[in-house]
Amino acid sequence: MQRKIVLIGCGVVGQGFLEILVKKKELLANKFDFEPVLVGVADMMKGSILAQDGIDIPAFLEHVKAKGTVHDFPVESAIVGLNSIDILKQAEADIMVEVTYTDIKTGEPASSHIRTAFEKGMCVATTNKGPITLHFKELVDLAKKNNVLFKYEGVVMSGTPIFDLLDYCLAVNDIHEIKGILNGTTNFMLTKMEDENMSYQDALALAQKLGYAEADPTADVEGFDALAKVIILSNVVLGGSLKPSDAKERIGISGITIEDIQKAKSEGMRYKLIGSTKLENGQIIASVKPVKLPLSDPLAGVGGAVNALTFKTDLSGDITILGPGAGKLETGFAIMIDVINMHQEM
């Protein structure tokens, strides 16, 4: 069955998603009866294209990789140069994939994209943390009002399943505390600084090159990205209505030197940036800060751009999931799984 998709944002994650559509074309068709038709793409830097009859995805991907532009991909009768909102208003699509850069302070432009898509009757898959951090309840209500699906598996731990795990496998549990490593960039940096004596700047540059870091990596190293994920977990899983400013503390890794890391190592300890949220006497306490853990702590063994999260449940005890927390294909996969689940639920 054909599903028309409009892609808003064609950077690392958007291209990762398209790569998966190309790579898994036959499996998607044979196993899921899913045939994607890409009807529009908009990217703030690369331009836009609207082609209601569909864009040849493999050729488009090659073009974007080679030229770094969207608007000049040759398609007969395509409309080019529309802004992202106009693309959404004009596109005849079943699903919007929203993968623009995250702005945790305003949630824009992603929140406007999502509202517009819902009002047009499109289902939405996003990995954008801004709207989920700031407007979760409003957007869930708007999706319901417009009778469309809304999925955001990749906003925490990229393609490692969190929300599907909670919705299906842990559904009857009462979860009262969640704690773990929620930022791939900083975990990667801390690992490189400890294992290879790499400088803070070199480790950050490498994380950026590998596509782990945010557009503004301050969000990673100062703990804002991990905090957004902690707020998302507080609101989506613990049922809160917290804003980032409600967190008890938010400390990143910019104050940690190689000397601190090596000293901790000599003491049999390791620094990790830990995010946590818990329900205590009806109140949610959320925080992000570097913690020196003994090497025997399971979280101390989690290296590289890997994330790990422990859910404290009333029926199943502590359940920990560990997996990629950032990356092009990993986050593209989060979109893929949302899209295929929506395709099956529509």
Residues lying near ligand HSE in the complex (CB under 6 A)? 158, 183-185, 212-214, 220, 225, 325-326
3-state secondary structure of 115: helix
Minimum distance, C-beta of residue 307 to ligand HSE, in the bound complex (Å): 7
264-to-288, 291, 331 alpha-carbon distances in Å: 19, 11, 32
Answer yes or no: are the C-beta atoms of 160 and 182 closer than 8 Å.
no
153 or 214: CB nearest ligand HSE: 214
> With b meaning 16 or more CB within 10 Å and e meaning fewer, what string describes 190-208?
bbbbbeeebebeebbebbe
Backbone angles phi, psi at 174, to 5 degrees: -95, 120
**Is 23 marked active-site?**
no
Q: How far apart are CA 190 and CA 204, in angstroms?
A: 10
252 or 325: CB nearest ligand HSE: 325
Minimum distance, C-beta of residue 297 to ligand HSE, in the bound complex (Å): 20
The residue annotated as part of the active site, out of 179, 192, 229, 328, is: 229
Beta bridge partners of 279: 284
193 or 326: CB nearest ligand HSE: 326
Minimum distance, C-beta of residue 17 to ligand HSE, in the bound complex (Å): 14
- The CB-based long-range contact list for 134-139 (8 Å cut-off, 24+ gap) reads 134/104, 134/106, 134/107, 134/243, 135/107, 135/111, 136/232, 136/235, 136/236, 137/235, 137/241, 139/111, 139/114, 139/115
161 or 184: CB nearest ligand HSE: 184
39 or 232: CB nearest ligand HSE: 232
Minimum distance, C-beta of residue 20 to ligand HSE, in the bound complex (Å): 17
Minimum distance, C-beta of residue 207 to ligand HSE, in the bound complex (Å): 7
Task: Give catalytic residue positions.
Answer: 229
